[in-house]
Amino acid sequence: MEIKEGYMPFQGYQTYYRLIGNPQNPTIVFLHGGPGSTHNYFEVFDSLAEEGYCLVMYDQLGCGLSYVDHHPELWKIETWVEELKALRDYLHLDKIHLLGQSWGGMLALEYILHHQPKGIESLILSSTLSSASLWAKEQHRWIRYLSLEDQEAIQQAEKEKNFSSIAYQEANDHFMKWHCGDFSNDRWACLQREKKIGKESYLVAWGPNEYCPMGTLSTFEVSDELEMISCPTLIISGTEDLCSPVVAKTMFDRIPCAKWELVSDARHMVFVDQFERYQSIMKDWLG
């Protein structure tokens, strides 16, 4: 399959994009997590292009091949929504399936609920959230399953608002490995590739970690608006996911025409932990 890569001018910067497959085929646009991650992990989906789909991935402004820093004024949801709009226009993406993973799902919800985009064939919400406050609450519930030493280190760091101690960093590492995973020895080359993470965009937009939303996204609360979504919606989450079953069910209960797949033995990157199962779910949904 031919891969087309390029850059889109955006607000004086450049947004990297990657397109694989025939643009005349049904198109899936992927919104990565973070803020500040990259499109890299989405390359595990490349085989879908052989199934007759066109895949569009990009590095959101502030990370990867779209890296920008020292511009904290950029790191707000409005920037990334405008970038998504611009990318659709630039690549002439008139009809799309929209998949948002983690923060990318928040971006997708903001876009659909508050900007009334046309041509959304379906929405796929992967390990994401509709409420920052519920997300924080559920992460703190997950924390209670850590060792007492790790719990105390996190509690102390939150109390002092100082996240620099070794004890805290080790505790947070344990938490993230349990719920997000460590793919340093994984089979996927795209997960091993060196990438430039947007640490500034994550810190300014979200906060110091997953359970302390303090940034511009900390007020993200759209659960009460979910009934306004009119396109078919698929929710996917894992049993060990940062997106806990409570977070996922909150969305499932309120979105009309929604389907929810809870995948066993899967963490925040369900499509890596349970690749074959996730691909099967995707093919059934898109078909």
Q: Identify whether 241 is a catalytic site residue.
A: yes
Measured between alpha carbons, how far is 74 from 202 in angstroms, rounded to an integer? Answer: 11
Catalytic residue among 32, 97, 179, 268: 268
Q: Into how many domains does the chain fold? A: 1
Measured between alpha carbons, how far is 215 from 126 in angstroms, rounded to an integer? Answer: 22
Task: With respect to residue 179, please indicate whether it lies within any of the assigned structural domains.
Answer: no
Tell whether the model's pLDDT for residue 185 goes beyond 80.
Answer: no
Closest CA to 12 of 84, 59, 61: 61
User: CB within 8 A of 231, min separation 6: which ones?
Assistant: 112, 120, 121, 122, 123, 257
Tell whether the model's pLDDT for residue 186 goes beyond 80.
Answer: no
Express each pLDDT in 38-89 by its tens digit: 999 999 999 999 999 999 999 999 999 999 999 999 999 999 999 999 999 9
Measured between alpha carbons, how far is 243 from 66 in angstroms, rounded to an integer? Answer: 27
Pairing of strands 54-58, 27-31: parallel
Task: Say if CB 76 and CB 205 are below 8 A apart.
Answer: yes
Task: Say if CB 64 and CB 35 are below 8 A apart.
Answer: no
Task: With respect to residue 156, please indicate whether it lies within any of the assigned structural domains.
Answer: no
Q: Identify whether 102 is a catalytic site residue.
A: yes
Task: With respect to residue 92, please indicate whether it lies within any of the assigned structural domains.
Answer: yes
Neighbours of 214 (CB within 10 A): 16
Measured between alpha carbons, how far is 275 from 214 in angstroms, rounded to an integer? Answer: 33
Task: Say if CB 30 and CB 53 are below 8 A apart.
Answer: no
CATH number at residue 123: 3.40.50.1820
Task: With respect to residue 164, please indicate whether it lies within any of the assigned structural domains.
Answer: no
Q: What is the mean pLDDT of the chain?
A: 96
In this structure, of 52-56, 128-132, 146-150, 184-188, the range with the lowest mean pLDDT score is 184-188
pLDDT grade, residue 189 (50/70/90)?
Answer: confident
pLDDT grade, residue 194 (50/70/90)?
Answer: confident
Q: Which domain holds residue 220?
A: 3-131+188-286
Task: Say if CB 45 and CB 271 are below 8 A apart.
Answer: yes
Q: Identify whether 69 is a catalytic site residue.
A: no
Catalytic residue among 59, 150, 241, 273: 241
Q: How much is the pLDDT for 139?
A: 98
Any idea which residue has 């109390």 for tokens? 159
Task: With respect to residue 227, please indicate whether it lies within any of the assigned structural domains.
Answer: yes
Task: With respect to residue 216, please indicate whether it lies within any of the assigned structural domains.
Answer: yes
Measured between alpha carbons, how far is 85 from 93 in angstroms, rounded to an integer? Answer: 10
Across 130-158, average pLDDT: 98
Task: With respect to residue 65, please indicate whether it lies within any of the assigned structural domains.
Answer: yes
Task: With respect to residue 181, please indicate whether it lies within any of the assigned structural domains.
Answer: no
Catalytic residue among 32, 39, 66, 102: 102
Gyration radius from the chain CA atoms = 18
pLDDT grade, residue 94 (50/70/90)?
Answer: very high
Residue 22, token pair as written in the block: 């025939």
pLDDT grade, residue 193 (50/70/90)?
Answer: confident
Pairing of strands 54-58, 120-126: unpaired
Express each pLDDT in 218-256 by its tens digit: 999 999 999 999 999 999 999 999 999 999 999 999 999
| Percentage above 90 pLDDT, the chain | 93
